[in-house]
Amino acid sequence: MLTAVSNIKITRLPKRTLAYVRNVGPYMGDTELFGRLFNTVMEWAAPKGLMTEKTEAITVYHDDPCTVPEEKQRISVGFTVPEKTITPEGIHLMTLPEGKYIVGSYEILPEEYKNAWKEVLDFIRDENITPTTLEFESYKNDPNTHPEGKHIVDICVQIE
């Protein structure tokens, strides 16, 4: 059970461009891995003036952890940037399309992510909603600055 504040709704999200790096392999619970991946993109983006108050930190999950072996699971980690941004080798661009999404908003500890995802996916199942394959987390704070170390995050699942 979550000790977190949560709110799940259906909403329309705008199109966004994500500058990212990809990881293939185990990632669950590896906060150091996520830190390294985000830092790789930030070290490029910050000096270019791309880190603004409107920038979103996002992790896209490409594979179902229930059906894809851990060593083949892919995540893309990065930040939103203007659409026509030119990236260096090793940093890629992807478009997160405009559309309808289930968005679960949470204020959680790192160990509560699994339960938050379960709550969102249960909502989709219980409401008989058809998801697409696009699932991501949009982070709203730096947990290091939160008095309880909590992550303020939206869990987003695009729906048909």
pTM: 0.94
Question: 5 pLDDT exceeds 60?
Answer: no
Domains defined for the chain, CATH in brackets = 5-159 (3.20.80.10)
16-30 pLDDT, tens digit per residue, is 999 999 999 999 889
**Based on the number of CB atoms within 10 Å of its own CB, is 42 exposed (0-12), middle (13-18) or buried (19 or more)?**
middle
35 pLDDT band, cuts 50/70/90, is very high
Q: What is the mean pLDDT of the chain?
A: 94
Phi, psi of 133 (to 5 degrees): -95, 0
150 pLDDT band, cuts 50/70/90, is very high
130 pLDDT band, cuts 50/70/90, is very high
63-118 pLDDT, tens digit per residue, is 998 899 999 999 999 999 999 999 999 999 999 999 999 999 999 998 999 999 99
